[in-house]
Amino acid sequence: MSAHCPRRISTCAARNFDSNRSRYATRHASACTSPMLAASCFRASRTRVRVSRRMDPYPVQSSRSPSFARSAHTIRPPESQWQRFASSDRKAGVSELTIRTATEADFDDVLTLFLPVFLQEIEDKDDEWYRNEWEPDRLLLVHDADELIATAAILTRQMTLPDVGLRPFAAVTTVAVKTGHRRRGALTKMMRTQLHDLHEQGREPVAALWASEAGIYGRFGYGLASQYLRAHIPKGVPFRPGTDVGKDRVRLVSREEALPLVTALYDRVAPQRTGWLSRDERAWAGYLWDTPHWREGASPLKFAVHPDGYVIYRTKRKWGERGPEGELNVLELVAATPVGAAALWRFLLDFDLVGEIEAPIPVDDALINLVQDPRQVVRTQRDALWVRLVDVDRALVERRYSAPLDTVFEVTDVLCPWNQGRWRMVVDSSGSATVERTDADADLLVDTTDLAAAYLGGVRLSDLAAAGRVRELTPGALIPASRAFLGDQHPFCPQVF
């Protein structure tokens, strides 16, 4: 399932992402706030403020409220703001919303709510596929009296972080609010509860999701950490002269023959590619689920393998006035070597009766440098993973960094006050980091949203600073921090969850 709708395989690559994303797309209230909200107030205020137990300890700051009291460790918003978020469900004539964890008995009710939110028909539900992704103990349900009105889940997964391989993260998914119940605080209640539970239970220090709408998650501390390209390439595009495609043949094989080969190759490559996810047998079963009503008129999944890679794709027959204009839609192309990548792309580009190949590719994919005329690769950039640092200190030490660093971050975080305050981050020559609280003067002022955006190494802190989202407090502190966070590859997540 997904911070989107549960992942299904669509007819084409961009549609494999975009159509999938409409399926996976999470349903949430639309809003966003400036991550630097009241930054000067935060720096000026050094007084500890006790949070009233009558108030929610993890309030969400409104973009309409530019001023509120801050301290290094705790925060209390104005009563009017609290009433807007926490009491929005207590208006006259409206019952209070309740939240709980799902049980096995909730399965049908969850799908009955979830599918229509994502414009899917109840009659088309695939119980077996949804059961494959079902983790009820990590699924939150919001009720209005006896009516289920919202859901949000976490899948237990691992993701590759810069230079350290796979690490646990909370894959947020199945976020939906029933039509007619928006703007009552259900989404805020679920997001707050998820983060609070992860922190209190000492579980994954990082959460991530795919968003149905890009403006939703910033107010909950999620930063856009990776993007991908939707590529359209006409058949027959030539490579640069001298490109080595090797002597090994790309072979079409059956699904049964392909599975052990592709899983072994994926396990070989995934720990080296930032943003890639772990896949056990259950995850592979869900990823390659292939029932006819999900194909949108295209073929079943096809598999082509090479000693150093594989490609999974669909084809769709299409004829125009000038002849064949078939579609070849890539689900996934994985290569362990440059020769493997070149051979697989050449296989696709020389496919008979195909007019165009569509594929989701990384921002730095080899294809762009393989072809003689890069303009032939028409690219549209799309947002991909949105990342949230649940516990700043635990999250920052999980990955490695590109350069030594010794800096103090002053962190703002209105939803998770345990992250508020100043943190000293020291990176040694090996790229390993230590992070601890400090009373020293801050060098950089950041919101957790911006640390999260830079977390996978694909976003420069200096670029965020140019947009006014990161503030340099000590002259000369920004560039070393920006270099340290930057990875040697653009993060890419090949799988919507």
At residue 3, the 3 state secondary structure works out as: coil
Alpha-carbon gap, residue 218 to 221, rounded angstroms: 5
Instruction: Write the DSSP assignment of 443-488 as a string of letters.
Output: SEEEEHHHHHHHTTSSS-HHHHHHTTSSEESSTT-HHHHHHHH--S
At residue 381, the 3 state secondary structure works out as: strand
The residue from 363, 383, 403 where one domain ends is 383
The verdict on residue 129 lying in a domain is: no
Same-domain check for residues 320 and 435: no
Check the annotation: does 128 bind a ligand.
Answer: no
The residue from 356, 383, 410 where one domain ends is 383
Are residues 80 and 88 in contact, defined by beta-carbon separation less than 8 angstroms? Answer: no
Check the annotation: does 411 bind a ligand.
Answer: no
Check the annotation: does 176 bind a ligand.
Answer: yes
Same-domain check for residues 361 and 397: no
Per-residue pLDDT of the chain (497 residues; tens, 9 = 90+): 445 443 333 333 444 445 444 444 433 333 333 333 334 433 333 333 333 322 333 333 333 333 222 233 333 333 333 334 444 444 444 568 999 999 999 998 998 888 888 777 766 667 777 888 889 999 999 999 999 999 999 999 999 999 999 999 999 999 999 988 888 899 999 999 999 999 999 999 999 999 988 889 999 999 999 999 999 999 999 999 999 999 999 999 999 999 999 999 999 999 999 999 999 999 999 999 998 878 888 999 999 999 999 999 999 988 877 778 899 999 999 999 999 999 999 999 999 999 999 999 999 999 999 999 999 999 999 999 999 999 999 999 999 999 999 999 999 999 999 999 999 999 999 999 999 999 999 999 999 999 999 999 999 999 999 999 999 999 999 999 999 999 999 999 999 99
Same-domain check for residues 408 and 463: yes
pTM for the whole structure? 0.81
CATH code of 433's domain: 3.30.1050.10
Check the annotation: does 175 bind a ligand.
Answer: yes
Check the annotation: does 213 bind a ligand.
Answer: yes
Q: Which two tokens stand for residue 206?
A: 């990082």
Number of domains in the chain: 2
The verdict on residue 256 lying in a domain is: yes
Which stretch of DSSP H or E encloses residue 16?
helix 13-24
At residue 209, the 3 state secondary structure works out as: strand
Give the domain extent around 260: 228-383
Closest among 341, 337, 381 to 363, alpha carbons compared: 381
Which stretch of DSSP H or E encloses residue 231?
strand 227-234
CATH code of 372's domain: 3.40.630.30
Same-domain check for residues 398 and 299: no
**Residue 125: φ, ψ to 5°:** -65, 145
Catalytic residues: 217, 497
The residue from 383, 417, 437 where one domain ends is 383
At residue 452, the 3 state secondary structure works out as: helix
